[in-house]
Structure 1
Amino acid sequence: MKRWVKYLAFLALLVPFFFSGSQAQASEADSVNFILHKIVFPNGEMPDDLLNTGDTNGEHASLLQEYRGLNDVTFEAYDVSAKFYELRAKGQSVTDAQAALSALSADELGTPVATQITSELSGEDGTASFSLPSKVGDKDAVYLFHEAAAPDIIKEKSHDLVVVLPVENSAGENLSTIHLYPKNEEVIHEEPGFEKTVTGKQESYTFGDIIPFAINVEIPKDILDYKKFVINDTADPSLVFQADSLKVSESGQAIPAIYELTTSEHGFSINFTDIKALGKFAGKELTISYDMMLVATDPEANSFANEAVLDTDHETITKEVTVNTGGHHFVKVDLKDTQTTLAGAEFRVVDEKGQFLAKTTEGYTWTTDKNDPALVTLTSSKDGSFAINGLAYGKYALEEIKAPVGYELSTTPVDFTITKDSYTVGATGVLQVVNLKTPEPAEPVVPVTPEKPEAPKPGPVDKVIDKVFPKTGEAKNRMLVIIGAILIAVVAVVWWQNKKGKEE
């Protein structure tokens, strides 16, 4: 019983004034225009029920100024005249008959006599217009307006409106145009989805790489309640915005330019100034894609941030992503004494494909030309240290092209690996690169200068006997001569003795 009392009280406020058949004056017009003004209220701001007067005066007119009309709501008009008069014939009051009709299900209503969808009409959103006969047979017509479909933004559909013709104004005149004000409350506002990503994100990058980014933003269902919807993107000074790469799309299709774009060297701002046009994408996701180049503005840094901010009159959401690069520290030392650091050694960097690292205006590139004048040369300083930064994680090698003074040129590449922490790990991560000292030549023998002989002192002069020293082979020859002489002497003696014996 309480439910019906409440329902009747609501109808008394919501439905315009009407007159029963016995009291009403027949309309002279053949048709009546019904103008429905669909008003939507943010969650929690739905006003109390207001009396419909059938015109554009009073509190409803004020609501239209303060709140907005809702488009894309489908209303159906039903002729319920026969049902109404049947209930009246059974003794029900006009109010009871209206309540009973408004409680009918959609299936019980039958077929609508007209259907309209709210849209902008004469500069006003949420408007639907019906032109319907004022009479059904010889009786005043009775119409029911049913909300058949509405955007997801509304919390629940409005109640059915039952209008019994004719309707009079305050002066007692029949209205040929009747204004109705169905109302809806929006669902609770939800923070829109907002994400920033690196498209196809790699673990790391090299100075000079072009890096693709994307911002995905969900357009709120209640976007038409917004007055401000701005996306700002700001990056590290080492990330340079590529203005020509920016695209704003929905499901892969570019959207119209319903925004103002402002660009800078390291970011951009998109201001959706046409909120009404943006409303066409309510509940959908927009993608903002663009590129940035990683440049070597800070050779000591290897982590770079890119921040996106959604700034509205309802919320502020910030998302940040980072991209990384890597490096390595080295020190040139003596092979046998690693405490001795060596200056002036020069190296080139080679990747796993055998390509050489070369310098560009923005960063690095790789080339197979070992004579390219842009090749990067690393030189050990006074304390033997040198480093490379701004390379993607991976395996590389150093090739020595000039040895320190006094050392042999190394012909063996020095392998090294760049990881997330290889550049910032500290002294324990410094790679020693050694050189062998060039061997010193033997010292030459310096001839001794003979001393000058002293002058002879006065006194007796001794006879100097020159001694003749045999030369090589001379002693052997002399012995043969002596032997020969002896043999001759022996022969001579024997011959002389024989001769003497014969003479005797």
Structure 2
Amino acid sequence: MMTTTSLITGTPVHAAAEQELSPDGDFTRVAPATVNVTLHKGMTEQTPADAKSNNISASATKNGKQGSITADGETQDWNNDTENYNPALYGKVGYTAYDITAVAKDVTTDGIKAIGASIQASQAAGKLADNEYIKGATKVMPEQFMTTTNTTTFQNLAASDDTSEHHVWAFVETTHAKGLVTQISAPIVAALPLTNKAGNKFQTDSQLYPKNIVQKLTFSLIKHGDSPSGDGKTTFLPGVAFQLYSGKPGSGTPTGTQVTTDANGKLTVSGLTVGSYYFVEVASGDVADIDADQEGTYLMGADARNDSANKLNFTITDAGVDPTTLHADMMNYHAPDMHKTLEASDTNFNSSFTEGTLASFKTTIHTPNDIKGGKGSEIGGESYITEPYGVFQGSDTADEGLTWVRSESDFQAVEPDGTVLKEGTDYTLTDKDNGRGYDIQFIREDGKVSDTVAKYQGQEITLTYKMVVDNDAVIDKALYNTFDLAYQNHPTNIGKQHVRHIIHKVPVYTYGAKFVKKSTGLFGTGVADTKLQGAQYVVQNSDGKYFNGFADGADDDSTAEAQWVDKLSDVKEGVLTSGEDGSFEIKGLHTGDYVLHEIKAPKDYQLNTKDLKFRVEKGTYTNTVYTARDDAKTILPVTGSNERTALAVAAVTFVVVAAGAGTYVVIKKRKNAAD
């Protein structure tokens, strides 16, 4: 009797025993012609430390001890740290069976080992098809894959026939998940059929046990922040939080806990197996949530939200993945910014204006670097452009007392190098009703800003324009010009729609002054003074010009404007006259020093010999009343009279005047003229 052996994962197994019959070749065949072979896949998980160092040695296992199986074709269980292979986690594994009987000349234990080693070496070199045994195979069974029960069965394999008392088969792992499987199983070479463990019959169903070393994968992400100036420089962003999800962006399930970038802007997520994943950025630190009105230096990107626009997604398929591609660099961009001021030339009078004049405003808008989609982000080695802004517009609103008149506004939108943006091409401008301001839109019909606006991303657009301080302005009250910059850094047809706003307002004022005309009182003391009607004044400004009232000029607005003339004699409309209560006023002036010049005294009073200086500023109209006084005219004696009676007699005048809670008396002797 001749005995052959097969090698199953390095262990020799006795094959079928054939009995020699008569020399003329007559015999009765007792071995099965075909058998079924079931492969039971095992796996041993590689430790995280070994995975980090890409250690794929046989000893690189979870607890340092792999399972062992006695390869005898019988049903067995995995032991130690080896367990049933899980294709749902570690991917597709397939085997191809080759009938190499015709080229397997040496089927001794050493010969079987040599065949297995030859196939393994060719496979490691990526030249399996060139191996002499594989090339010499007379039959190749179609590749079969491990099922969810970690098995696959090759049925009806040739085992014994008239041409060969046994068939030698090589079972080769021809598919495995890249990255997840760090060491494939060694080729299994077996001479079929096999005898059972008891040695009393042939196996018609043999069980073989190949095994892999597997690992869970790690994904790393580095978070960058852009330079607001658009110079291309970046910085690492620490303290930025992310949540990993499994599934489809927008409908996935959180996996694990939030992870946060370290001082170098890096985070890692481990324990990854077959599946689809995506990162969702969580507002934290300097990064503001784009779906809320949270303040922040940087703005979350639409590419990292939990919706269909998410670009931070990756998939580990059942074919595996190259672990070096499990990396992303993500850029956060500075949020837009906006500031509103008065032009410097209009701050000379503490932001105050004379009614009818134009207040010049300047709104500076910082354009973000990703206004038309930002560069600098990549995942899995593929670069991508972030979503462009879907909303980028401004609304300028004037309080009552300020009026927007397009034809007088001198509106311009200018880039830093002096390039003037074109209305209709780079923006649209729409007047609000009743002169209450304007709206400016930078997003065109194609849903993006123009190429010119995008060219200057990271720089500033300056809007300059004027508004009329009209006759409805409330004196001493702040008249606000407000600019609202609205923006959204993703298209308006994707995901949650939340428009963020930056609102700045600048006040302007117009002031005035109130006066009361009084007598100088008893003997010039101010006591028992009298409010005087009919006094007339003109106002002179610091330039020496005289106020001549308000009148509508030749411009396009309907606001009356202050008129100033060079000569007093030209004043017609600017005369201020005291009323019955002695009061008069002037309003609608800017801050400054003015002069009150009396041109007509009240009846029986003398014209003031000196001009009166007064100040107009915030609060002078509301909280201050300036007093202007005149002396009564002197009563002269009748010329040429010989009557001395009235003047010769010394007279005593008693005047009683109430003063607070008491009373005081003024006594004055009058003497005749001769005295």
| Structure with larger Rg | 1
Amino acid at match of 2:414: S
Aligned to 1:247: 412
Is 1:262 matched with 2:262?
no
Is 1:193 matched with 2:384?
no
Instruction: State the number of aligned residues.
Output: 306
Is 1:323 matched with 2:508?
yes
Aligned to 2:631: 436
Deviations 1:447-467 (A, max 9, x none): 9xxxxxxxxxxxxxxxxxxxx
Aligned to 2:256: none
Instruction: From 304, 311, 318, give the equivalent of 2:479.
Output: 304
Aligned to 2:102: none
Determine helix, strand or coil for the equivalent of 1:424.
helix
Residue 49 (structure 1) shift: 10
Determine helix, strand or coil for the equivalent of 2:448.
helix
Distance, in Å, in 2 between the alignment partners of 1:352 and 1:215 is: 31
Query: Structure 2 length as normaliser, TM-score?
Result: 0.39
Q: What are the ranges of 5 or more consecutive residues in structure 2 without an aligned counterpart? A: 1-46, 56-89, 91-123, 131-222, 226-239, 250-300, 304-310, 313-318, 320-324, 374-386, 488-497, 553-559, 644-675
Determine helix, strand or coil for the equivalent of 1:360.
strand
Q: What are the ranges of 5 or more consecutive residues in structure 1 without an aligned counterpart? A: 14-18, 26-39, 51-58, 61-152, 160-169, 171-180, 448-504
Cα distance, 1:48–1:324 mapped onto 2, change above 3 Å: same
Aligned to 1:127: none
Aligned to 2:156: none
Distance, in Å, in 1 between the alignment partners of 2:358 and 2:513 is: 22
Cα distance, 1:242–1:335 mapped onto 2, change above 3 Å: same
Is the CA contact (8 Å cut-off) linking 1:233 and 1:309 kept in structure 2?
yes
Aligned to 1:214: 362
Distance, in Å, in 1 between the alignment partners of 2:427 and 2:400 is: 26
What are the equivalent positions in structure 2 for 1:306-455 lying under 5 Å apart?
A: 306-312=481-487, 313-337=498-522, 338=526, 339-358=529-548, 359-361=550-552, 362-372=560-570, 375-425=573-623, 429-440=624-635, 442=637
Cα distance, 1:377–1:390 mapped onto 2, change above 3 Å: same
Runs of 4+ in 1 over 4 A off after TM superposition: 1-4, 6-9, 40-50, 181-186, 441-447
> If each structure's helix is expressed as a fraction of its own residues, which one has the higher value?
1
Deviations 1:7-34 (A, max 9, x none): 989xxx9xxxxx9964799xxxxxxxxx
Q: RMSD value over aligned CA atoms?
A: 4.5
Residue 322 (structure 1) shift: 0.9
Deviations 1:89-145 (A, max 9, x none): xxxxxxxxxxxxxxxxxxxxxxxxxxxxxxxxxxxxxxxxxxxxxxxxxxxxxxxxx
Cα distance, 1:288–1:184 mapped onto 2, change above 3 Å: farther
What are the equivalent positions in structure 2 for 1:121-136 lying under 5 Å apart?
A: none
Amino acid at match of 1:248: A
Deviations 1:352-411 (A, max 9, x none): 332101223233132203233554111111110111222222221111122212222223
Is 1:238 matched with 2:401?
yes
Is the CA contact (8 Å cut-off) linking 1:360 and 1:374 kept in structure 2?
no
Distance, in Å, in 1 between the alignment partners of 2:129 and 2:573 is: 99
Amino acid at match of 1:208: G
Distance, in Å, in 2 between the alignment partners of 1:315 and 1:299 is: 32
Name the % identity.
26
**Which structure would you say has the larger RCO, counting Cα contacts within 8 Å and 6 or more residues apart?**
1
Distance, in Å, in 2 between the alignment partners of 1:402 and 1:442 is: 25
Distance, in Å, in 2 between the alignment partners of 1:211 and 1:436 is: 43
Cα distance, 1:198–1:4 mapped onto 2, change above 3 Å: farther
Instruction: From 377, 391, 401, give the equivalent of 1:228.
Output: 391
Deviations 1:247-298 (A, max 9, x none): 1121121124332211131311112222523544432221111111222223
Deviations 1:305-343 (A, max 9, x none): 111111224411110111233322211001125431001
Cα distance, 1:44–1:340 mapped onto 2, change above 3 Å: same
Determine helix, strand or coil for the equivalent of 2:406.
strand
Is the CA contact (8 Å cut-off) linking 2:421 and 2:427 kept in structure 1?
no
Determine helix, strand or coil for the equivalent of 1:423.
helix
Is the CA contact (8 Å cut-off) linking 2:364 and 2:462 kept in structure 1?
yes
Distance, in Å, in 2 between the alignment partners of 1:440 and 1:332 is: 22
Amino acid at match of 1:390: G
Residue 346 (structure 1) shift: 1.0
Cα distance, 1:46–1:299 mapped onto 2, change above 3 Å: closer
Query: Structure 1 length as normaliser, TM-score?
Result: 0.51
